[in-house]
Amino acid sequence: MTKVSCTACRAGAGLLQHYTKTGKSEKEIKKTIYHFCVNLKIQSPRVCEGITELFASEVIYVLGKVNIGPDEICSFVIGDACGDVYNPYHEWEVAFPPVPKPTVVEPKVPEVNAPTFKVLHLSDTHYDPYYMEGANADCAEPLCCRLTNGHALSKESAAGKWGDYRKCDTPKITVDNMLQHIQDTHPDIDYILWTGDLPPHDIWNQTRDENLKILKETVKQMSQMFPGVPIFPALGNHEAAPVNSFPPPFVNTPDSSISWLYDELDTQWRKWLPSSVSNTVRRGAFYSVLVRPGFRLISLNMNYCNNKNWWLLLNSTDPATELQWFIYELQSAEFNGEKVHVIGHIPPGHSDCLKVWSRNYYAIISRYESTIISQFFGHTHYDEFEVFYDHKDLSRPINVAYIGPSVSPYYHLNPGYRIYYVDGDHDKTTRGIVDHETWIMNLREANIYGYPLWFQLYSARQSFGMDALRPRDWDDLVERMTNDPQLFELFYKYYYKASPVKPTCDMECKKKILCDLHSGRSHDRKNLCQSIESRVDSSSNTTWRDWFYNTISVSVSVIMSIPRLTMQVPKYVLGLG
């Protein structure tokens, strides 16, 4: 997030707060936002209208209730790029039980040739029921490749049969083909992790009914394709309408309550989950289940850490008491000698995760490092991971969050999915990850030849030369990539799922990616990334002439961006930037 984005956020938030305090009606404010959006050509008129209608009421209501100014609001919404502004209304800590942390034992490498579970991880399907082959894929809206985008004016701008690398989501034919391929190729799957984001990116015209329809259709399809296979779902940020809008339980008015979604999740997820989870699913869309004796899975609703969830500005203190419940479940698991896998959608170290929530989560992972074996998330669409460190000793790696690739090609990506091999049922099981594979479909070739071929892109241990997949092994991989350009290039290829249209990665890009891999705690680049960034800088051999030129270029770019500032205001005010 840039300084310009931060300034735009502050200007927009300040403007809206001024309007609400001076008595402007919601209708007047909406009209102003709409005209601003259209006249500055931020989006097409229909997108401006849809965004204004869907988002403005919520944002206006929240900004009218909070007692903080634009600096605090934008530090909350954007994070450290907007400065670390102290905000007493959003400083809180979870309470740990008075139970000493067990003595830490170095994780063991799973035994060779021991039985394993084969686990499928699907994430970010973003199925688009209105995708149309031949439609304009090069539109100026948040989502293209639809009839409403018009027919393509050239062959190059036409949406392909199986999907497109531009701002287009997944056609039904591709979802169907992938699931059939998985059923044929992996008939021995033991269970499935399904980490959310089912609806497409048409965020300006979504409705509750449309999103629920997609939820029901996809649950039905998964049940039919994988009968008898346990499926453990987690909630994405796109399931709500509008997107990112997840009011905590204290917001219970009929127009604003999220019960329309959580109640249906309870009904749909009941196909795989026991009735005992109904209470927490309906209250906050999270749950805990026993997969096997001694092996527990906990699914978290990461939208309570989502800093684009404007409702949290009213009160971000452990929404739905999810983290306190999480601690209770982990403490019970520790007492019972259970090992735990955690799943969710937004990775806790991602910039979309609220800093105070992420900090508390990081402390929980550290306290229960002997119980939590692995974590699994989605959201970014990339093929990556996050290493967690002891929050009192940031040199000691203690856990790993695996971030699965998206099914959707949105955007510049090949469709993909992940297979994990988990240490299975035997006397010395660790429940650790033995290895993982990423499988993809080459979208360009599928559209050229008329039929997709799914194949294994890589396996982690073989491709990265890893003896095992313990936290220290992933930490070592980050260290090696910092010093080995060829190894980083290989990782970057897999990061984009071998997309032929992936952008070039310069030094700033490399620093960002390596920092992300090192960061299980969001908005804490100073503590988690300084060493890595320094080593990348030193390896780039930048001369003083390069430094001088880059400094001048940055200064000029900031000056030149000032006229564009006002064009970005509505976007950041509505949490879409």
Q: At what angle do helices 565-573 and 26-39 cross, to 10 degrees?
A: 140
Average pLDDT over residues 543-556: 47
Tell me, yes or no, whether 140 lies in a domain.
no
Residue 371 identity: T
Q: Is the pLDDT of residue 417 over 60?
A: yes
The predicted pLDDT at position 538 comes to 80
Based on the fold, state whether residues 469 and 560 are members of the same structural domain: no
Tell me, yes or no, whether 161 lies in a domain.
no
Q: What is the CATH number of the domain that holds 434?
A: 3.60.21.10
Has this prediction a pTM greater than 0.85? yes
Of 74-83, 285-294, 398-407, give the lowest mean pLDDT range.
74-83
Pick from 443, 476, 502: which residue ends a domain? 502
**Among 202, 316, 320, 201, residue whose Cα is nearest residue 258:** 320
Give residue 254's pLDDT band: very low, low, confident or very high (50, 70, 90).
confident
Based on the fold, state whether residues 426 and 467 are members of the same structural domain: yes
Tell me, yes or no, whether 105 lies in a domain.
no
Based on the fold, state whether residues 474 and 561 are members of the same structural domain: no
> For 455-496, what is each residue's pLDDT tens digit?
999 999 999 999 999 999 999 999 999 999 999 999 999 999
The annotated binding site is made up of 124, 126, 197, 237, 345, 379, 381
Q: How many domains does the chain have?
A: 2
Tell me, yes or no, whether 227 lies in a domain.
yes
Based on the fold, state whether residues 560 and 424 are members of the same structural domain: no
The helix/strand/coil state of 33 is: helix
Average pLDDT over residues 19-38: 89
- What residue spans of 22-99 are helical by DSSP H? 26-39, 45-65, 70-78
Of 19-23, 164-168, 241-245, 426-430, give the lowest mean pLDDT range.
19-23
Based on the fold, state whether residues 269 and 320 are members of the same structural domain: yes
Tell me, yes or no, whether 98 lies in a domain.
no
- Under 8 Å between Cβ of 339 and 295: yes
What is the per-residue DSSP string for 118-148? EEEEE----B-TTB-TTBBSS-SSSS-SBGG
Tell me, yes or no, whether 549 lies in a domain.
yes
Tell me, yes or no, whether 403 lies in a domain.
yes
Based on the fold, state whether residues 459 and 551 are members of the same structural domain: no
Based on the fold, state whether residues 486 and 555 are members of the same structural domain: no
Based on the fold, state whether residues 478 and 549 are members of the same structural domain: no
Give 353's DSSP letter: B
The annotated binding site for Zn(2+) is made up of 124, 126, 197, 237, 345, 379, 381
Based on the fold, state whether residues 549 and 495 are members of the same structural domain: no
Look at 525 and 423; give whichever has higher pLDDT: 423
Pick from 444, 471, 502: which residue ends a domain? 502
Domain that holds residue 222: 116-131+169-502
Give residue 541's pLDDT band: very low, low, confident or very high (50, 70, 90).
low
Based on the fold, state whether residues 263 and 399 are members of the same structural domain: yes
**Own/partner pairs, 272-280, CB within 8 angstroms, 24+ separation:** 272/230, 272/231, 272/232, 272/233, 273/232, 280/325
Based on the fold, state whether residues 203 and 335 are members of the same structural domain: yes
List C-alpha distances in Å: 480 to 127, 190, 484, 485, 566. 37, 34, 6, 9, 43
Tell me, yes or no, whether 25 lies in a domain.
yes
